[in-house]
Structure 1
Amino acid sequence: MKVTWVGCLTSLAGSSLAYVISDQGHFSNHRTDLLDQVFGEVLASHDGSGAAEVRQRSFNLDEDEDPEFKAMCGFYQEHPVEFPDDDLSNDLELFAGIVSFAHVPIERCFGSRTDGKSPLYDIAIVGAPFDTSVSYRPGARFGPNAVRQGSRRLGGGILPVRGFPGSKLRKLDPYNAGYKIVDCGDVPMTPYDNRIALNQLYRGQRAIYNKTTLKSDLKAPKVITLGGDHTVTLMALKAASEHNGPLAVVHFDSHIDTWDPKVLGGGITKTQSINHGTFLHFAHERGYIARDKSMHVGIRAPFIAPTDDKHDRECGFQKIVARDFDILGFQEIVSQIKQRVGDLPVYITVDIDVLDLSVAPGTGTPEPGGLTSRELLTVLDGLEGLNVVGADVVEVSPAFDTNGDITSIVAAQVIDSILGLMTVG
C-alpha cells in the first residue's frame, strides 16, 4: 500500500513520539523522532542576526519504510532548509502588509507644507470614495479599495507587450524609473452632502499638488485618482489645471459626460446639476480644459436629447466611437488623439465602462459593445510622448463584479499603463 507524505508523518507521530514537558515548560523527547528530524529546523530559534543556522540532519528510517518516503527524506538530508533573514524584507509580498496600490509606499499627503513634515514624491495615487452623483447603480465608493486589491501582482518588472514595437516602454519598469511613487490613501468624503464631499476632494487634491517633488524637472507632482463615480474628475481637473493651466482631456468612456445639466439632473433640481454625466460640461464652463483640444474614446451610449452632439462639440470634444476600433485600427486612433491634444498638458480619465460589460461587469452604467482590455491598453500605450500630468480610473463598482474580481484587476492594469506614460523618458 502506498503511504503518502502526510500519512507517513501521521503514522510515525502516533507510534514514535514520546514528548514530556520539562521544568522550563518546553517540549522534549526521550529519543530522536522523525517529526523532529524533518521539521526541527522550522521550529529552531533565530538569533536575530540573520538566517537561521542550517544543520545537516540524518534520518533514522525503518528498513521496511515506504520507498517514496525514503526518497523524500533523502532529499531533505542532502538539501537542508535555509530560512530567510528575520527582517522579511525580501519575502513574497502579494498578500502581506497594508494594501497600497502595487505595494508602493504609503504617505501622509494631506498635511500643510508648513508643518515641517511635508513629504516628497513625484507621483501620487489617491482614492476618492464617492458615488452619490450616479444616475444608475451606486457602489463606486468601494472602488479605490477594490482597485488596490486588484493591483497586488503589480509593482515591478518589465512588460514585454508594453508600448508599440521599438518603444521605450518595452524596456520600462515604471516603479523603478527614477520617480518616487506613493499611495496617499483616500480623501475623506462625506456620503451625506455632495457639496461638502466634492469640496473635500478638491482640498485633498490641492494638498497633494502643493507638495515638493524629488525630480527637479517636475514643477508639481503627477496625480492618479482612484474613483469613485466620474463626478470626482471635476475636482481632479480643477486641482490639476491650477498647476498646469488648461488641460487637454483624453476621455475613455461609453458616455459623453458633457450633458447640459438642463438635460441631465439639473432639470429636476439645481442641486443635482453636477453629476457623473455633466462634469465635463462644468469643466469646460469653468476653464479647466483647453478649448477644442479634447477627445472622447470608446463612445457608444445613446444621447438623451437631439442637441447633445452639438453641445458636446461646444464643450471642445471630438469623438472616436467604439465601432471605430473595428474600422480605423490602432495606429489611426492613436494618431487622431495625438493630433487633437497637441503638446498641451494632458489629463487621461478612464471610465471603466469604456470596456465591454463582459470584460468589466463591475461598473455602474454598463453598455454593450465596448472595448476589450487589450484594445484599451494598446491605445493607452500608443499615447507615449504626451505630457500626461494627471489621470484617473473611475466607476469601478465591486459589488457588481465577478467573484474573480476581473473589473478591479483590469482597472489596476490601466493605472499601470498610465504610470508607464508618466515615467517613460
Structure 2
Amino acid sequence: MEELRIEANGNLGPIDSSRVPRYAGAATFARLPRLDQVGHADVAVVGVPFDAGVSYRPGARFGGNHVREASRLLRPYNPAWDVSPFEEVQVADAGDMAVNPFNIGEAIETIQANALELTSAGTKLVTLGGDHTIALPLLRAAAARAGEPVAMLHFDAHLDTWDTYFGAEYTHGTPFRRAVEEGILDTEAICHVGTRGPLYGRRDLDDDHRFGFGIVTSADVYYKGVAETVAALRERIGDRPLYVSVDIDVLDPAHAPGTGTPEAGGITSRELLEIIRGLRGLNLAGADVVEVAPAYDHAEITGVAASHTAFELVTLLADNAAPGDRHGQDTGYARQSLDRIRTTAPVAGSQETQESFE
C-alpha cells in the first residue's frame, strides 16, 4: 500500500494521520519513515531490545516496540516549543540493534559499534531500551564522537553507580560507575535527577559524591520546583556536550507502573517533560529512554509517558540541528513556556534539600 506521508522542507515525515488511521500500518516511532527510506537522518530513533542486565523484574527487551506503539498518538507539532521537529530536520526510525541476549560483554560491544556506525555521518541518536546497561556503550560512543568526556543528566529513581551485582561488573545498576572509571564522563558536569528510596548504606552516597555526581532528589524537584531545578542543571552543564539518560522509573509508579524496579515518591510526567524542555539550547549529544517493561504496564500508561519523553528529546535534538534561520526560535507558545519555567516562584525548600544540590 502507498504510504501517505507529510513532507516539508525536503524532509520525509510521519504518515499523515488525517488520511491513514493511527492504528493502521507499521509502528515506527511517531509513524516516521525507516532510516532505509531516507538514506540519511539528522536524528534517528533506534531500539536496543536487551534486558540481560536487570536485577529484579525482566521485560525491558520489549520496551522499544511498546514505546513505538504508544507513539502512534504523537502529533508532529510540539506547541511547547513552537516547533515541528520532523519538518525542521530529517528524523527516522533506525529499527533495532541485534544484540546477544546471553552475553552481556558481547552485547555492550555490539551496541557501541552500532552507535558509532549510526552516528558516523553526524546523526544524533535517541535510543529506546532495553535496560540501563545499554547506557554505558552509548556513552562510550557519544564521548568518542564528541572527542572529549561528556556531561550527563541521569533521570532515575536509582544512582546506578554500584560496583557489582553477584560479582558482575556490567549490569543495569553499574553503568555510570564504569563510565566514570573509563573517563568518558566530565565529572564536573554530571547529575542525577529524581533519585529516591532506600539504599544499601551511606557508602552508596559517599561513593557517588566521590565520582563527582550532583544529586537532585524527587523531593528537591517537589520543594524547589521546575524553574530552580532547570536553572541549577543548566549552570552545572554549561556548553559541554551533554548526554541525557532517562530511566522511566524516575517517574512515580502512578505515572510509570511498567518498569522493573519501581520506587514510591517519584516525579510526575509533567515535571519530567518540563525539565527536558528547560534544556533548550544546550549541546545535546544523544539520549536514551530505558527500563520500560510492558508486561507491567496496564493501560499503556508507561508507554505513553516514555513516548512523550522521547518526543521531547527528539525535539531538543532537532532544534539544535535546525538550519540557522530556524534554530533555537523562541517565539509564541515556546517563549511563554520557557518564561513560565524561568519565572515561576518555586516552593521554598528545607535546608536539607538545599544542601543536597550543592
Give the deviation of 1:287 after TM superposition. Answer: 1.4
Paired residue for 1:99?
Answer: 27
Measured in 1, the distance between the counterparts of 2:202 and 2:76 equals: 48
Question: Residues 220-369 of structure 1: matches in 2 within 5 Å?
Answer: 220-244=122-146, 245-261=148-164, 265=165, 268-269=166-167, 272-369=168-265
One-letter amino acid of the structure 2 residue matched with residue 193 of structure 1: N
Paired residue for 1:150?
Answer: 70
Paired residue for 1:176?
Answer: 87
Question: Residues 52-201 of structure 1: matches in 2 within 5 Å?
Answer: 91-108=19-36, 119-159=39-79, 162=80, 169=81, 171-177=82-88, 179-201=89-111
Q: Does 1:414 align with 2:282?
A: no
Provide, for residues 312-350 of structure 1, a one-character-per-residue CA deviation record: whole Å limited to 9, x for no partner. Answer: 122221000011122111111001101111110111110
Give the deviation of 1:303 after TM superposition. Answer: 2.0
Measured in 2, the distance between the counterparts of 1:337 and 1:89 equals: 37
The two structures have a TM-score, normalised by structure 2, of: 0.82
Given that 1:146 and 1:408 are in contact with CA atoms closer than 8 Å, whether structure 2 keeps it comes out as yes
Given that 1:292 and 1:315 are in contact with CA atoms closer than 8 Å, whether structure 2 keeps it comes out as no
Give the deviation of 1:305 after TM superposition. Answer: 3.0
Q: What RMSD over aligned residues (CA atoms) do the two structures have, in Å?
A: 1.8
- Which protein has the bigger strand share? 2
Q: 1:88 to 1:387 in 2, by over 3 A?
A: closer
SS in 1 for 2:186: coil
Give identity over the alignment, percent.
Answer: 40
Give the deviation of 1:103 after TM superposition. Answer: 1.1
Aligned residues: 305
Q: Does 1:382 align with 2:310?
A: no
SS in 2 for 1:292: strand
Bigger radius of gyration among the two: 1
SS in 2 for 1:92: coil
SS in 1 for 2:205: helix
Select between 88-97 and 222-231 the one with higher mean Cα deviation: 88-97
Give the deviation of 1:157 after TM superposition. Answer: 2.0
Measured in 1, the distance between the counterparts of 2:18 and 2:227 equals: 41
The two structures have a TM-score, normalised by structure 1, of: 0.69
Paired residue for 1:41?
Answer: none
Given that 1:123 and 1:182 are in contact with CA atoms closer than 8 Å, whether structure 2 keeps it comes out as yes
- Which protein has the bigger helix share? 2
Measured in 1, the distance between the counterparts of 2:294 and 2:191 equals: 28
Q: Does 1:423 align with 2:343?
A: no
Measured in 1, the distance between the counterparts of 2:34 and 2:316 equals: 22
Give the deviation of 1:97 after TM superposition. Answer: 2.0
Given that 1:133 and 1:274 are in contact with CA atoms closer than 8 Å, whether structure 2 keeps it comes out as yes
Given that 1:351 and 1:395 are in contact with CA atoms closer than 8 Å, whether structure 2 keeps it comes out as yes
Given that 2:240 and 2:283 are in contact with CA atoms closer than 8 Å, whether structure 1 keeps it comes out as yes
Measured in 2, the distance between the counterparts of 1:343 and 1:313 equals: 23
Give the deviation of 1:100 after TM superposition. Answer: 0.5
Unmatched tracts of structure 2, length 5 or more = 1-14, 320-326, 328-358
SS in 2 for 1:370: coil
SS in 1 for 2:188: coil
One-letter amino acid of the structure 2 residue matched with residue 242 of structure 1: A
Measured in 2, the distance between the counterparts of 1:351 and 1:134 equals: 13
Given that 1:223 and 1:391 are in contact with CA atoms closer than 8 Å, whether structure 2 keeps it comes out as yes
Measured in 2, the distance between the counterparts of 1:88 and 1:357 equals: 33
Unmatched tracts of structure 1, length 5 or more = 1-86, 110-117, 163-168, 213-219
Given that 1:103 and 1:155 are in contact with CA atoms closer than 8 Å, whether structure 2 keeps it comes out as no
Measured in 2, the distance between the counterparts of 1:362 and 1:316 equals: 31
Given that 2:61 and 2:130 are in contact with CA atoms closer than 8 Å, whether structure 1 keeps it comes out as yes
Measured in 1, the distance between the counterparts of 2:36 and 2:150 equals: 27
RCO higher in 1 or 2 (8 Å CA, sep ≥ 6)? 2
One-letter amino acid of the structure 2 residue matched with residue 229 of structure 1: D
Structure 2 counterpart of 1:400, from 256, 278, 296: 296
Given that 1:151 and 1:412 are in contact with CA atoms closer than 8 Å, whether structure 2 keeps it comes out as yes
Measured in 1, the distance between the counterparts of 2:60 and 2:16 equals: 35
SS in 1 for 2:99: coil
Q: List, as ranges, runs of 4+ consecutive aligned residues in structure 1 with deviation greater than 4 Å.
A: 87-90
Given that 1:155 and 1:175 are in contact with CA atoms closer than 8 Å, whether structure 2 keeps it comes out as no
